[in-house]
């Protein structure tokens, strides 16, 4: 969707009229550093930016979660099963990677710059220099491939209450996507949100940054603009829009996300055990299979902190007889491994006592590992050993995303 510049200028002119008397209006007395013309030009640039962003978010051909919203009444349940889609196809990172509030401290490799932000002290525009840092956090993966979320933090030197910096115009250039700064079709625009897992939220240019704040880099929900990949190398440009030689600051060549155990140790840890890992699993060894169910604690007092794991492991005795090895246990939410006792259950449902124990972990959404120990000598796998299980059907059921 290409938006002609003339259209944007027309919307910008209207926006300027609406902004008279606001902090970005040209009627504000400029500081000695900025002439009235510079302040007016900055206000026009901001209004143009806002106009474009609103057009991006109001595109009638926009799809949310991979489902077109054109002609659909808000809140209407659809008859074509599209209402079952529960994950946005425009997500920039796995949904479970981040929670609100976003981190306030950086981690892993960090890429920073001292950025001269426009600021407003109630009577005039000034410059406040802030540290802007960009970093990634490791995320769970659906396929086992490396996945991350990209964060940006504006850190004020001092939390002054008599002046506030203004959010800059931020653009992205990425060689792998064929996008440069000032892209003619505006594909260099990115959405920065203060909350994770949003579709439309974004921080508007020139809004006051009252406190040091962390943002997550997001895609616009529009296929015409959704060409970036934050896992690849990219550069960012920060512009206070005053048109001076020092107005633009760059963080160039942020490298591609390539985790190592030293830089992103979380990328090599098992996933937290959750209900997304429920399902049928198989292993090529002896054609064994496993049914795993993970569910919320039925005890109200524990429901916010505990989960239950229940499983049936169909193994085989030495003579080929099928055996049901079953168990269940309670574990703390967020645990990356779960250990459970195991009982041998006969065909008549009678338990033969404790068989041993197993410990589960999940390296990705479709792969489970466990270790077992037969402490009883009862039929089934003997001694101790390991199993790697693959989900019988990869988790794309009903639009669910195990990420």
Residue 332 sits in a domain whose CATH number is 2.40.128.20
> Poorest-confidence range of 93-97, 152-156, 261-265, 359-363?
93-97
Produce one character per residue of 7-33: b if its CB has 16 or more CB atoms within 10 Å, e if not: ebeebbeebbeebeeebbebebebbee
Domain match, 125 and 195 both: yes
Judge if 382 and 288 occupy the same domain. Answer: yes
Predicted confidence (pLDDT) per residue in 201-244, tens digit = 889 998 989 999 999 999 988 777 778 899 999 999 999 988 88
Domain check: are 226 and 122 in the same one? yes
Q: Are 93 and 140 in contact (CB under 8 A)?
A: no
Mean pLDDT in residue range 335-345: 94
Report the interhelical angle of 36-57 vs 5-18 (nearest 10°).
Answer: 110
Residue with tokens 């406040």: 128
Q: Is residue 7 part of a domain?
A: no
pLDDT above 70 (res 143)? no
Query: Would residue 22 count as lying in a domain?
Result: no
126 with 191, same domain: the answer is yes
> Is the residue at 195 inside a domain?
yes
Q: Is residue 61 part of a domain?
A: no
> Do residue 308 and residue 238 come from a single domain?
no
pLDDT(180) > 70: yes
Domain limits for position 227: 89-268
pLDDT at position 130:
95
* Selection from 150, 155, 158, 147 nearest residue 104 by Cα: 155
Kindly state whether residue 227 falls inside one of the protein's structural domains. Answer: yes
Number of domains within the chain: 2
pLDDT at 199: 85
Domain end among 268, 290, 323: 268
pLDDT at position 142 is 62
> Are 256 and 286 members of one domain?
no
Domain termination residue (choose one: 231, 247, 268): 268
What is the predicted pLDDT for the residue at 215? 97
Q: Do 308 and 348 reside in the same domain of the chain?
A: yes
Evaluate whether residue 16 is within a structural domain.
no
Mean pLDDT of 99-120: 93
What's the whole-number average pLDDT of the chain?
Answer: 79
Q: Where among 220, 244, 268 does a domain terminate?
A: 268
Residues 258-295 as b or e (16 or more Cβ within 10 Å = b): ebeeeebeebeebbbbbebbbbebebeeeebebebebe
Q: According to the model, what pLDDT value does residue 200 have?
A: 84
281 and 304 within one domain = yes
């Amino acid at each position: 969707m290409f938006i002609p510049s003339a259209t944007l200028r027309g919307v910008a002119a209207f926006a300027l009229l609406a902004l008279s008397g606001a902090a970005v209006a040209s009627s504000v007395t400029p500081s000695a550093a900025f002439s009235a013309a510079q302040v007016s030009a900055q206000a026009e640039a901001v209004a143009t930016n806002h106009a474009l962003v609103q057009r991006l978010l109001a595109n009638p051909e926009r799809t949310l979660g991979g489902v077109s919203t054109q002609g659909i009444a808000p809140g209407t349940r659809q008859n074509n099963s599209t209402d079952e889609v529960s994950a946005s196809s425009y997500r920039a990172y796995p949904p479970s990677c981040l929670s609100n509030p976003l981190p306030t401290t950086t981690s892993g490799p960090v890429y920073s710059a001292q950025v001269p932000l426009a600021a407003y002290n109630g009577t005039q525009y000034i410059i406040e220099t802030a540290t802007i840092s960009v970093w990634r956090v490791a995320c769970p993966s659906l396929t086992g491939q490396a996945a991350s979320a990209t964060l940006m933090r504006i850190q004020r030197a001092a939390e002054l209450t008599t002046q506030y910096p203004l959010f800059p115009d931020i653009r992205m250039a990425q060689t792998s996507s064929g996008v440069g700064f000032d892209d003619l079709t505006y594909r260099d625009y990115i959405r920065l949100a203060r909350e994770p897992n949003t579709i439309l939220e974004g921080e508007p240019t020139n809004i006051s940054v009252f406190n040091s704040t962390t943002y997550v880099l997001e895609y616009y929900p529009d296929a015409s603009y959704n060409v970036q990949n934050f896992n690849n190398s990219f550069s960012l440009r920060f512009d206070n829009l005053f048109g001076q030689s020092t107005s633009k600051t760059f963080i160039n060549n942020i490298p591609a996300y390539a985790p190592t155990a030293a830089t992103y140790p979380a990328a090599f840890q098992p996933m937290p055990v959750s209900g997304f890992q429920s399902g049928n699993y198989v292993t090529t060894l002896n054609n064994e299979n496993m049914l795993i169910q993970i569910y919320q604690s039925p005890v109200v007092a524990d429901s916010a902190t505990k989960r239950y794991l229940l499983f049936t492991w169909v193994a085989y005795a030495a003579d080929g007889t099928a055996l049901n090895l079953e168990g269940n246990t309670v574990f703390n939410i967020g645990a990356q491994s779960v250990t459970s006792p195991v009982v041998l259950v006969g065909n008549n449902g009678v338990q033969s006592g404790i068989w041993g124990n197993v410990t589960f972990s999940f390296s990705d959404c479709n792969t489970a590992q466990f270790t077992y120990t037969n402490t009883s000598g009862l039929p089934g796998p003997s001694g101790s050993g390991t199993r790697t299980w693959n989900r019988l059907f990869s988790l794309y059921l009903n639009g669910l995303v195990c990420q």
